[in-house]
């Protein structure tokens, strides 16, 4: 409650009679506000002090800085309190000179308080800031000591929790949350995100929530099936790559080593003078040369795939209905077979042979030289007449000493057979040296 200025006791009394809230002696707790027709006249006075009026302003009285102004308006005070105010034209507001009065100082902005200061406030209450010398205090200051130990402990703990609480999410976190709003997230991802929030570890989940999270973390049957199919395809691809590498490269390496061993064994037998009465299946007995293709390959008895052909050798048709003549026979067709691809592939390029190209067969005692005469690019495997004594389509019309080379076609398949025919042009003993086809 502000004090009544000396000499204005009658104004204070009038303020109380007519309900003036802005009167300097008015107390809203003890004095009721009686309804009156002229009660609004007492609300014209501003509630904030403007400081001393300039000398040129009418009805201005010097006032100390910070002191409240009069609670009444001097113009309104002259009005008739018991009747309505007569209507009159509004007088122009007096022109005031630029105010040079000092501005009422505003209370300083509240400073950021540390946890220690908050704890001190919780114990001793709010302390009002001290006023500068020559200025009035901005407001009443009361220090209220707290004597309740329980209250002090509660306030201190609340203050410490507020100080230790981590800051809220930053701008980037809020943007990510706004982008992901409305999207469904699995229970496992939601639990993991809640566990990583800055507020601290996630609350322990109930048994139902834990089951749901574990179920959401498990892969669905479709995911498991697709993963298994993908692994099978990868494994199949790796196996296919290994198989192709084995077929196209490694089989040739192995077959080359085995055919070289067979050729060396044949030459050793010749050097030692061994002459077998009959050749056993798989046993090498001769060596074939195709100079144009740079082919040197041993010839073994039989056309067994595993025992002869896959070992890089050429097989002689010598069994059952497919039995053909030997090179030393005076009449007949000497027919052999060999791989066109993989396993040494001795007949891979026989399609490049032209009529007149030499083919030489070396035995223990003799060199037999043939010249290529014709080629059948494709025929079914069931056409066994191509290895007959006088093969049809070869151009031969009567019995003679012929040679036939057979292989698979197209390349890397065994759907059809390619046939190359030739006739003998020279028989030369080994004691006389190599024929011209090999020397040249």
Q: Annotated active-site positions, please?
A: 339, 408, 417
Report which of 410, 430, 322, 418 is spatially closest to residue 372, judged by C-alpha positions.
418
DSSP string, 2-47: PPPPTT-HHHHHHHHHTT-TTSTT--TTTS-----TTGGGGG-S-S
Instruction: Give ∠ CA 202-206-207 in degrees, rounded to 5.
Output: 135
Token readout for 271 is 């050097």
Which residue is associated with the tokens 């196209």? Answer: 248
User: Which CA distances in Å does 172 have to 56, 92, 194, 197?
Assistant: 59, 58, 17, 14
Q: CA torsion 389→394→399→403, rounded to 10°?
A: -60
Tokens of 388: 């007959």
**Could you tell me which residues come within 8 angstroms of residue 130 by beta carbon, excluding any fewer than 6 positions away?**
137
Residues linked to residue 360 through DSSP beta bridges, in sequence order: 289, 369
Tell me how crowded residue 262 is: count the other CB atoms within 10 A of its CB.
Answer: 22
Give, in order, the Cα–Cα distances in Å from 9 to each of 17, 33, 256. 13, 19, 134
Angle between helix axes 115-124 and 149-164 (nearest 10 degrees) is: 160
């Amino acid at each position: 409650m502000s004090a009544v200025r000396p000499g204005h006791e009658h104004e204070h009394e009038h303020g109380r009679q007519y309900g003036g809230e802005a009167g300097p002696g008015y107390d809203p707790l003890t004095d009721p506000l009686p309804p009156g027709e002229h009660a609004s006249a007492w609300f014209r006075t501003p509630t904030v002090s403007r400081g001393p009026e300039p000398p040129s302003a009418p009805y201005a009285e010097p006032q100390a800085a910070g002191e409240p102004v009069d609670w009444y308006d001097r113009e309104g005070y002259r009005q008739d309190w018991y009747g309505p105010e007569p209507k009159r034209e509004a007088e122009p507001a007096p022109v005031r000179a630029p105010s040079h009065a000092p501005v009422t100082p505003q209370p300083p902005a509240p400073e950021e308080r540390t946890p220690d200061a908050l704890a001190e406030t919780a114990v001793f209450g709010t302390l009002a800031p001290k006023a500068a010398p020559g200025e009035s205090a901005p407001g009443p200051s009361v220090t209220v000591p707290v004597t309740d130990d329980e209250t002090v402990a509660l306030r201190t703990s609340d203050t410490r929790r507020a100080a230790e609480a981590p800051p809220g999410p930053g701008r980037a976190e809020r943007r990510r949350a706004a982008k992901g709003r409305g999207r469904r997230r699995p229970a496992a991802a939601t639990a993991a995100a809640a566990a990583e929030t800055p507020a601290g570890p996630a609350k322990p989940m109930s048994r139902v929530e834990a089951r749901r999270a574990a179920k959401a973390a498990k892969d669905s049957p479709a995911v498991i099936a697709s993963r298994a199919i993908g692994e099978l395809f990868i494994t199949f691809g790796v196996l296919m790559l290994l198989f192709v590498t084995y077929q196209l490269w490694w089989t040739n390496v192995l077959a080359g080593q085995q055919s070289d061993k067979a050729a060396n064994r044949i030459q050793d037998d010749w050097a030692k003078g061994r002459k077998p009465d009959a050749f056993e299946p798989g046993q090498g007995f001769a060596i074939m040369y195709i100079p144009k293709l740079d082919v040197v390959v041993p010839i073994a008895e039989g056309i067994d795939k595993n025992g002869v052909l896959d070992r890089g050798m050429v097989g002689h048709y010598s069994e059952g209905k497919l039995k053909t003549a030997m090179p030393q026979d005076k009449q007949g067709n000497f027919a052999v077979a060999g791989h066109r691809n993989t396993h040494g592939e001795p007949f891979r390029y026989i399609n490049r042979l032209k009529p007149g190209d030499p083919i030489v067969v070396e035995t223990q005692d003799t060199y037999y030289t043939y010249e290529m005469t014709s080629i059948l690019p494709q025929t079914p495997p069931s056409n066994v007449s191509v290895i007959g004594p006088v093969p049809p389509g070869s151009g031969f019309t009567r019995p003679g000493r012929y040679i036939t080379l057979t292989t698979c076609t197209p390349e890397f398949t065994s759907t059809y057979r390619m046939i190359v025919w030739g006739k003998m042009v020279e028989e030369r003993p080994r004691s006389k040296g190599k024929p011209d086809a090999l020397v040249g």
